[in-house]
Structure 1
């Protein structure tokens, strides 16, 4: 048996258990959340956070932003987020490039994430082209297919500046035509006119594909497209101004959290002194507040910056993959989404 065969067999063994994404429709979390309301500690925090999310869904004037950092999409929450878009439970998304490109678009192309049945030496994983996220595996060769697909999309587009929202919309269009998965967040967002923003878009597989697009174009003396991060900020602020009342459902922290909160300040700088702070806010995180980082800063702290209302907010200090299924299932089964008007904020930009 050759070394190549041995390696192929070992790789297949390690990538044998596919991560199955949770289906929030398949169970009703309302009795659990109702019971948690009568408890203390994180259970009561989660129950209150779920209640706030239901308030957002009930408020006819509220536009809801789903804000995602971290790797919950790879860990089994991908279909959960897709259902929020499918059922008009969120109106805009701000996320890391990894969440949108390396995880959701990745699976939209037909690739999978895998449970690590064991954690071998990471040098061994590297030799087998397996990438690791804690106890989750990704086939590096599949991820390189994402890089190349982003490159291919870029090659078909007019060479100009695009916001991440505009480029991700093209990714959604690509998945409608070539995708292998119905429950892709990128695809469903395109179909439902839910804009997706990635303020650090190139910090992902998209970065590799777009760099190759630029370098090849430069060598050939041709123009190339660029990602305009200032346009991201302007477009998201435009939505905040038009939306009025807003609510934030935040998983993790980091750049996406600060980016959506900063729209309030940006609107004021643009002369909209009457812009509302985000009325509702929920954040689920395990980050520690003591290091002064944005990821862990409390929503009360954000109020000092004039970004968030102090009255209707809740921090939940928990690993999001363990509590988001309960929050989302409760909200789905209470059904307030059934009476919500569809915002379609992507139409604000005329399909561009």
Structure 2
């Protein structure tokens, strides 16, 4: 790879040394395989406990109810850095096995983490965390105890720009653009073939990123736009209104829905708001989200969207309080148990595929 990546060139004089960087980026994050272990016994045992253990077991039960309900479409909602932290293949497995029907996520989850690894790059365990200024001098980005090579991330930025350059200059929803990313990978460009972006494309599971440019994608898309303007030409743009309309179309089509939410933020609120939007469009019979699970460590005292409880969302007419569960835990510690439990109980084997991406073909 060259330094022709958004014109962000390393200050080679500031590098401590290549050996130091190689040492810090020597232990890859290995993504958990939910098919390789059976979490049913531990979930059953946790259901007889208290505190977060019981909450986790009830969340697992609710997820199994979603998958067993023939009328229920499941929307996976992801914020935070769980993909970088080892849950990347878990999300792909849910798509492969018809355990989710649509996805709403942050741009970082889809681009900086998943698409990034599809290009052959890796995330690394930070077994040692030196001064962050030292990391900056080495062009290493840090997510808590996980490292990313900034040079590799710039390659991701550059690739996003190239995909944008190849498209007809018109408005696109984030779903449309991510579909093009999946197609580009499926056309033989993937270095890792089981990415979430490519797998969702192949299974007609739409992915929405309502704040798409708040990620590495933003750099590539800005570069695409600026270069096009310099040429006096037109450029593609992202249409956030189309995002909201399309996801609301899915809610209207789906009827009964269940939410599996990791974290909170924009993806959470965006997905819940589809009920209100459908009502505004005249669909007075639209159901609130029947099932809802949220795994979060956000503190409810700050009044933010990420920490708002599912009971609070009921006051806005978004979710039902009958079948909801908050799990206050760091997601990588409980999500693999919930997902493995559902995989091995096998309710997904009898589900009809929704293929919601075909609504927009």
Q: Same fold (TM over 0.5)?
A: yes
| CA distance in structure 2 between the aligned counterparts of 1:210 and 1:289, rounded to whole angstroms | 35
Give how far 1:117 is off.
1.0
Alpha-carbon distance between aligned partners in 2 of 1:5 and 1:162, rounded to the nearest angstrom: 40
SS in structure 1 at match of 2:32: coil
Report the equivalent of 1:269. Answer: 280
Give 3-state SS (helix, strand or coil) of 1:123's partner: helix
Which of 103, 106, 109 is residue 93 of structure 1 equivalent to? 103
Aligned partner of 2:235 in structure 1 is 224
Which residue of 26, 31, 39 maps to 2:49? 39
Where does 1:100-249 land on structure 2 (aligned, <5 Å)?
100-177=110-187, 178-249=189-260
Structure 2 unmatched ranges of 5 or more: 1-11
Answering whether residue 83 of structure 2 is matched by residue 76 of structure 1, we say: no
2:303 — aligned with what?
Answer: 292
Any idea what the Cα deviations from partners look like across 1:266-325, whole Å, max 9, x if unmatched? Answer: 000000000000000000000000010010000000000000011000000000000000
* Pair 3,218 (structure 1): closer, same or farther in 2 beyond 3 Å: closer
- TM-aligned CA distance change 1:232 to 1:4, over 3 Å: closer
CA-to-aligned-CA distance 1:208-229 (integer Å, 9 cap, x gap): 0010010011111101000000
Greater than 3 Å deviation, 4+ residue runs: 2-6
List runs of 5+ in structure 1 lacking aligned partners.
none
Give secondary structure in 2 for the equivalent of 1:24.
coil
In the alignment, is residue 320 of structure 1 matched against residue 331 of structure 2?
yes
Which SS does the other structure have where 1:223 is aligned? Answer: coil
Checking the alignment, whether the CA contact within 8 Å between 2:34 and 2:90 is kept in structure 1 is yes
Post-superposition CA distance 1:69-112 (Å, at most 9, x none)? 00000000000000000000000000000000000000011100
Alpha-carbon distance in 2 for matches of 1:292, 1:160: 38
For residue 310 of structure 1, what is the aligned residue in structure 2? 321
Find the aligned partners of 2:24 and 2:286 in 1 and give their Cα distance.
Answer: 52
d(CA) in 2 for partners of 1:333 and 1:260? 28
CA shift in 2, pair 1:5/1:43, >3 Å: closer
Q: Give CA deviations for 1:170-195 in whole Å, capped at 9, x if unaligned.
A: 00011112001122000000000000
- Root-mean-square deviation (Å): 1.1
Q: Verify: 1:49 aligned to 2:59, yes or no.
A: yes
